[in-house]
Structure 1
């Protein structure tokens, strides 16, 4: 299969990711919104500030609805001076396959782990005190309300949660 027929490469920050061509025209379940690049930039700044102010030497992050994986991959590549573990998840099988491609494309296999699960189920797996995340991003199509309980249970005390409700 010729990837150039189906995918477009997008460069954002320090990463390059493959995006289904239809996602640029809102025809795909694997959504990419270039307008949200600033939001993703601010995520990097927030995590770096959090690490510096808290003295955090290591952090874990979860992008529970990752689509292409761009936010989490940018965290893996761009946040410096801390040990990182990033979990990228999407319930859609095509999104999961694209996340795997993008992890490999950016050489972050040792930092990023991909899942293909319901977001609430995934977050519930990380609810025990030693498994909790430092940062969780919830960006659903629609309201994030139905994910809030699971996200808060999977968040480390003093951690950061980002919720997006644009639809």
Structure 2
């Protein structure tokens, strides 16, 4: 199984769904339209591509890009071929909601809850979407990049030392 084969198979089945593709460090990475992500994951699991293992789901926040401010990243694995793929989908903060894939992978339950808890991204159709790590009365999503990383009274460090 090669990246070219997988990309061609996906583009054949979903001709307008892939926004971009890249292969950082040999890891096939696709940016997919939000409306198509669940259908694509379902196809990748049930077809001969055989991506039957969900490795991870996580959120991401790019505060400087309002059209693609929040996103969800899915890592899938074909265990027989030992081939992994990363799927990304992005959306504005105002529409921070994607379809749940708990009906495809039961392990997605806690991963989606964690992403909801830390980024505020809602998973439409999730059976029990509530906070998992933080207290319910916290009032904010701690992994959004809108909070200072350092004490504002310190002069020896600033957020630029942390990649911001």
Q: Same fold by TM (over 0.5)? A: no
TM-score by length of 1: 0.30
Larger RCO: Structure 1 or Structure 2 (Cα < 8 Å, ≥ 6 residues apart)? 1
